[in-house]
Structure 1
């Protein structure tokens, strides 16, 4: 998997930022904190995303505290953002809606 470049990168970052993701330029990653009603909803969302991520063989960096899930997406092998990160971000957004 190769890093996103040029127009594809600009489009991906615009999509992410419009949905509350922040770009971490130092790591070339995107980050977001998802908030849920309670722990059960947060953990249920994480479980659904874990299944998607495992099928993709692309796993997020994340941490859960009560109703919050802090997520960082980056493709370590590519040292930056790839289409895998964006596909997983879209799945996260869909599951959180």
Structure 2
């Protein structure tokens, strides 16, 4: 997470992420333009390279169950870019 956060700082990008024990979920999205951007894809590629350098296992193919867990983990706090009331 530290290595990825440094890349986020360099690229001025802020993904949504959560970490529990040895699993990190990262949601790469961009508010403008909406959806995925070249910056998202670049940083996702950097994550894969960092994981390979550190000897991490290749990620398992996403399943609907894992995707639901990731969605709940990253959306439970609400939208990070909407002012809190």
TM-score, L = length of structure 1 = 0.52
Q: How many residues align?
A: 52
| Separation in 1, partners of 2:42, 2:13 | 10
Of 66, 70, 76, 2:25 maps to 70
Show the 5 A alignment for 1:39-58: 46-58=1-13
* TM superposition shift of 1:78: 1.0
- When you count helix as a share of all residues, which structure comes out higher? 1
TM superposition outliers: structure 1 runs of 4+ over 3 Å: none
**Bigger strand share:** 1
Runs of 5+ unmatched residues, structure 2: 53-85
- 5+ long unaligned stretches in structure 1: 1-45
- The Cα RMSD (Å) is 0.7
Is 1:79 the counterpart of 2:34? The answer is yes
TM-score by length of 2: 0.59
